[in-house]
Amino acid sequence: MTVKPLDIVCPLREAASHEELRYALRTWEANLPHGRVWLVGHRPRWAINVEHIPNRQNGTKYSNTSRAVEAACLHPDVSEQFIFLNDDFFVLHRLTALPVYHRGPLREVEAYYASRGNGAYLRGLRETRDLLVDRGHEDPLSYELHVPLPVTKTGMLTALDAGRHLDVLHKRTAYGVLAGIGGERMRDVKVLHRRPGFETRSGFLSTMPDSFAHGAVGSYIRHAYARPSRYERARR
């Protein structure tokens, strides 16, 4: 029996050029077998051969992405299981199967962020933890990694509904724990700095706008994936 490839769902905010997305699409085409690509929210003018779900972007970045993921889950043409990722997730090695990764115990991730400040992200982490503990998950895992995550519509809608009262829901974590997806532990692949010395052995990278535009990691990605994909209109 032939298994139909999963669709990709990528929430996208309004921005000037979305160059990270351009190169992310190149890596997905090369290394991440998939069905259709769904951009939810914004669609750059150069993006072709993609599906688009318009979505309101009048909230915080957290509420906007939750609303976008919910819109994808409710859309009848998106595959029941899909690959959830962001526009700055780069896949460097050809995947024959999509692994599930987690970041380890949420309490350890909380300690890491608590040592660096006490903003909205950390507050959302703690509120998501409390939500999961209240539902019987005493020592939940964190799934807040910058790598593709396979999800089901049904499971993600359950997670979004459970955390609807939170303004900063850690939706990957809520989904992963409530759906019981397990997985393998890995370090996060986000590169925050401009300097050389980033790890590629995992097969994944993620960037910040500055590290992509001006850093060694961005130069590496642009050099490795210089050939346009079928998802972009030719530059004039």
Quick one: which of 74, 71, 10 has its CA closest to 42?
Answer: 10
Whether residue 44 lies inside any domain: the answer is: yes
Q: Are residues 22 and 63 in the same domain?
A: yes
Give the pLDDT score at 122: 95
Whether residue 200 lies inside any domain: the answer is: no
Q: Are residues 75 and 107 in the same domain?
A: no
% pLDDT > 90, the chain: 89
Whether residue 225 lies inside any domain: the answer is: no
Average pLDDT, the chain: 95
Whether residue 227 lies inside any domain: the answer is: no
Whether residue 149 lies inside any domain: the answer is: yes
Structural domain containing residue 5 = 1-89
Whether residue 218 lies inside any domain: the answer is: no
Residue ending a domain, among 32, 56, 89, is 89
Q: List the structure tokens of 178.
A: 């409530």
How many other C-beta atoms are found inside a 10 Å radius of the C-beta of residue 192?
Answer: 12
Give the pLDDT score at 16: 67
Say how many domains are in the chain: 2
Count of alpha carbons within 13 angstroms of residue 13, beta-carbon side = 13
Quick one: which of 97, 77, 115, 46 has its CA closest to 203?
Answer: 97
**Mean pLDDT, range 85-114, rounded to an integer:** 96
Q: Are residues 79 and 110 in the same domain?
A: no
Residue ending a domain, among 188, 205, 224, is 188
Query: If pLDDT is split at 50, 70 and 90, which confidence band does 187 have?
Result: very high
Which of the two residues, 106 and 15, has the higher pLDDT score? 106
Quick one: which of 176, 172, 205, 173 has its CA closest to 188?
Answer: 205
**Mean pLDDT, range 143-154, rounded to an integer:** 98
C-alpha–C-alpha distance, residues 123 and 107, integer Å: 13
Whether residue 196 lies inside any domain: the answer is: no
Q: Are residues 117 and 172 in the same domain?
A: yes
Give the pLDDT score at 1: 41
Q: Are residues 63 and 103 in the same domain?
A: no
Q: Are residues 81 and 106 in the same domain?
A: no
**Mean pLDDT, range 173-201, rounded to an integer:** 96
Residue ending a domain, among 42, 68, 89, is 89
Residue 118, pLDDT above cutoff 80: no
Whether residue 94 lies inside any domain: the answer is: no
C-alpha–C-alpha distance, residues 171 and 157, integer Å: 10
Q: Are residues 74 and 115 in the same domain?
A: no
Q: List the structure tokens of 162.
A: 């459970």
C-alpha–C-alpha distance, residues 173 and 167, integer Å: 15
Q: Are residues 81 and 127 in the same domain?
A: no
Q: Are residues 75 and 125 in the same domain?
A: no
Full-model pTM: 0.95
**Mean pLDDT, range 149-154, rounded to an integer:** 98
Query: If pLDDT is split at 50, 70 and 90, which confidence band does 235 have?
Result: confident
**How does pLDDT run across 64-85, given as a tens digit for each residue?**
999 999 999 999 999 999 999 9
Residue 215, pLDDT above cutoff 50: yes
Q: Are residues 120 and 69 in the same domain?
A: no
